Structure 1
Amino acid sequence: MDVNTSKVDPKLLELLVCPLTKTTLNYDSQANELISKKASLAYPIRDGIPIMLISEARKLEV
């Protein structure tokens, strides 16, 4: 497996929710982020690990 590949376990994605809104997240494979549409935030995935901190999330343009 390539070290730069940041795949996340699909079962983990099913369990994760937005820490702000507690709603489900959508996986954006191109940006390697988890998207919370309700909060308009994108949580990064680094080295295959979702960073579920609001302070680390990127604000989405509405």
Structure 2
Amino acid sequence: MQLDPRLLEVLACPCPEHAPLRQGTGPDPALEYLTCTACGRTYRVEDGIPVLLLGEAVEPAAG
């Protein structure tokens, strides 16, 4: 994934903690994802644009 590092500095998870996001992997290895450093939700990136909607997020696996 080639997101601009300056963009990653200002993006935050829409969860109540508004924690920073890091580049990561999600349930579909063919897609790009950002992962919240607090709640663990993952958000897909479509055409270089993060989809930061709680309703579209993938919840972390319980365990």
| TM-score of the two chains, using structure 2 as the length reference | 0.74
Q: Between 43-52 and 19-28, report the one with greater CA deviation.
A: 19-28
Q: Give the total of aligned pairs.
A: 57
Query: What residue is the counterpart of 2:41 in the other structure?
Result: 41
Structure 1 gaps, min length 5: 1-5
Query: What residue is the counterpart of 2:7 in the other structure?
Result: 12
Percent identity between the aligned chains?
Answer: 32
Query: What residue is the counterpart of 2:18 in the other structure?
Result: 22
- Structure 1 runs of 4+ aligned residues shifted over 6 Å read none
SS in 1 for 2:8: helix
| TM-score of the two chains, using structure 1 as the length reference | 0.75
After superposition, the CA RMSD in angstroms is 1.9
Structure 2 gaps, min length 5: none
